[in-house]
Chains A and B, each alone.
Chain A
Amino acid sequence: MNRAEPPIKPAPSRLFLSLRAAGTRSVRASLALLVLVSLLCLFGPLASPHPYDRVYRDYVLVAPSLAPHPSATEIDQAIEEIAKRMNVAIESRFRNGGVFSATLVAVQPIDLRALRAFERSDVFSRPRVVGREDAGRRLLIETPIKSAVFLFGTDANGRDLLTRVLVAGRVSLSVGLLASFVALVIGVTYGAIAGYAGGRTDALMMRLVEIVYALPFIFLLIVLVMVFGRHFALIFLAIGAVEWLDMARIVRGQTLSIKRRDYVAAAEALGATAPAILWRHVVPNAAGPIIAYLTLLVPRVILLESFVSFLGLGVQEPLTSWGVLIADGARNIQSAVHLLIFPAIFLGATLGALQNLGNGWRAAFGLPSH
């Protein structure tokens, strides 16, 4: 009986030590990137002048640019469309900085109510009638030009892509966190019970995990999404319900070694109940590896959500997620590459940073990277 005890390294205090130990440059850069993306997604939509579901009919599939809209051609297009709608001709037009003036001519006297067409456009505001001639057949109007900047361009419905990418980030990140939390709760509970019970219960419970492990997740996930409906709040439940297996295995392994420690024996001798021991002693002492694997789980879950949304089974319009946006970009790849590029960059950066962070963290705990 000379079997070596498996080393039990992690204790809560080590967690913070390991953070310092893992403070290599790439890990710190990843952390900074993640914080940046999260803050942008959280506060960016508030600061943005465009609501995420506001449709700009005059700015469909606008290319990304720093220059403010409208451009000269966009003004021409807009005024010609308005003229068509009002059934008038444009005699002259003139742009002076932020003010646009035009002379409208018609056969019949122009009904002033028709000027509402200006207010409905995304280019002009409420027009002011400066002069009326020919008993109202010639109208000189002045209107301020609305200026808008679309940093990332707009989508096929004329919605600002920057705001949409940031709102999508909120959805993707929160689904990532919530689904990971669901997986965490299920996995830790299941694993701790299996490990602590041991014997036949343990064997049976782990056999079940192995069976579910053999399933292709996506197919199960899609069936679950069908069951729960396509509501945002339920998607993370479905994802959490298929992603708890690794966590259960890890927690079980930790529990197996922790339950042989003296402090557990002491708690048992003092008459502590099994749930109390699991909660007070086992789970806290397994916290290190749990958190380390959690960092691996979050990017996986975000990817899964994007995948499901990409297939049209996830978040529904007008709400959006990175997967939905990428699907949209893939459909419009011929006309507008920016629709694919920007959400892909945000998703890729987030996934890469999380992965990097997880690797650093696991290295600090001396855990394998797979």
Chain B
Amino acid sequence: MLRLIVARLIGAVPTLFLIVAAAFFLLRLAPGGPFDAERALDPDVAQNLRRIYRLDRPLAEQFWLYLVSLIEGDFGPSLHWRDFSVNELFAKALPVSAALGAEALLAALLIGVALGLAGAGRETGLGARLVDGAAFFGVVLPAFVVAPLLQLGFGLTLHVLPVGGWEGGAWRNQILPVFTLALPQIAIVARLMQEGLRDALALPHIRTLRAFGLPAWHIQAHALRAAVLPALSYLGLAAANVLTGSVVVETIFGIPGMGRYFVDGALGRDYTLVMGTVVIVAALVVFFNLMVDIGYAWLDPRVRDE
């Protein structure tokens, strides 16, 4: 098991390096710069700014400098919010986004797995219908439609939940964003769980248990181990999707998280801020995929012994 973890961690290094390199050079190809304003800056001022931020050095040297500071854990100064470093911005934004994402992922897992288990029965049963319905609405109603509708329903009409804002993470402010973020993942997890359990119930060792005359719940409990594998392997992708979704959710609900910084940074050509977000997101995705691999190995001995 330890060998697997170490191997995966080492394997992640070139992946991360490629991502950082691709994002770095792509960003510099983009037209426009961080100091473009309505009125052009005085050439001397612009020159000085570029020198201070080391943007006048050759691109390869800039990349090397960035890599070195990255390894030291320094994301550099923000080019847009010039009084802050990217680290300072992230120190405030990351906990917010992390709370939002973790809760959404947890909700998606709990509700999705429960729904999927309920839907593994007859094709025409209530559970299966619910899974079908969730899958349909997961496709037809994207987050940026669900979110305003929820704001309208619970905030403006019923006046039970706040329309937006974070308020330091008050639970009332969290309900709508978390639900919006979790909804599409619920649909997918439920479908995977449903199909996983159906497939697992058809496996030979489950048939044997049934032949022994074990009670239904006991058989289901045995089948569960094989049934969660597809849903588990989706978890890495789910984490990436939640990160993606949080960009929209944070924008709509006015939540001061990473997603908003990313969009603002991209619009303002804030190279360091966008790079920092890409690095964090890539690291998170790599981390989640590692967790998935470990979980897989733990549940499936065939993978563990490989």
Residues of A within 8 A of B (CB): 211, 214-220, 222-224, 226-227, 229, 299, 303, 306-307, 310-313, 323, 326-327, 329-330, 333-334, 337, 340, 344, 347-349, 351-352, 355, 370
Contacts and interface: CB of A to CB of B under 8 A. Distances in A.
B243 interface: yes
The 7 closest A-B pairs by CB, nearest first: A330-B148, A348-B140, A218-B244, A352-B140, A216-B240, A226-B30, A344-B145
Interface in B149-186: 149, 151-152, 156
Contacts of B252: 330
Given A215-B19, A218-B247, A326 B262 contact: no
Interface of B: 15, 18-19, 22-23, 26-27, 29-31, 136, 139-142, 144-145, 147-149, 151-152, 156, 191-192, 236, 240, 243-244, 247-248, 251-252, 262-263, 266-267, 269, 274, 277-278, 281-282, 285-286, 289
B152 to A, nearest CB: 5
A311 B285 contact: no
A182 to B, nearest CB: 17
Nearest to A222: B266
B148 A333 contact: yes
B144 A352 contact: no
A269 B262 CA distance: 55
A307 B142 contact: yes
12 contacts: A214-B15, A218-B247, A219-B278, A223-B27, A223-B30, A223-B274, A226-B30, A311-B248, A312-B267, A340-B148, A351-B142, A355-B139
Contacts of A215: 19, 240, 282, 285
Contacts of B247: 218, 311
Contacts of B251: 311
A63 to B, nearest CB: 15
A217 B244 contact: yes
Contacts of B191: 370
A333 B248 contact: no
Residue with the highest number of chain A CB atoms closer than 10 Å, among B136, B139, B285 = B139
A282 to B, nearest CB: 29
A347 B248 CA distance: 17
B262 A330 contact: no
Contact of B31 (A224, A229, A334, A344): A229
A249 to B, nearest CB: 14
B18 A223 contact: no
B144 A327 contact: yes
A227 B156 contact: no
B139 A227 contact: no
A218 B285 CA distance: 13
Contacts of B142: 303, 306-307, 347, 351
A248 B22 CA distance: 20
Nearest to A218: B244
Residue with the highest number of chain A CB atoms closer than 10 Å, among B145, B152, B244, B274 = B145
Contact of B141 (A310, A323, A348): A348
A344 B143 CA distance: 11
A211 B152 contact: no
Contact of B145 (A217, A220, A222, A347): A347
B244 A223 contact: no
B26 A227 contact: yes
A118 to B, nearest CB: 38
A223 B266 contact: yes
A222 B262 contact: yes
A333 B152 CA distance: 7
Given A214-B289, A311-B251, 11 more contacts: A211-B15, A211-B19, A214-B240, A223-B266, A226-B27, A306-B142, A307-B144, A310-B144, A313-B266, A313-B267, A355-B140
B156 A352 contact: no
Given A216-B285, A227-B26, A329 B266 contact: no
A185 to B, nearest CB: 21
Contacts of B248: 307, 310-311
Nearest to A337: B152
Contacts of A218: 244, 247
Contacts of B286: 214
A211 B18 contact: yes
Contacts of B148: 326, 329-330, 333, 340
A217 B282 CA distance: 11
A330 B151 CA distance: 9
A224 B139 contact: no
Nearest to B28: A227
A349 B281 CA distance: 32
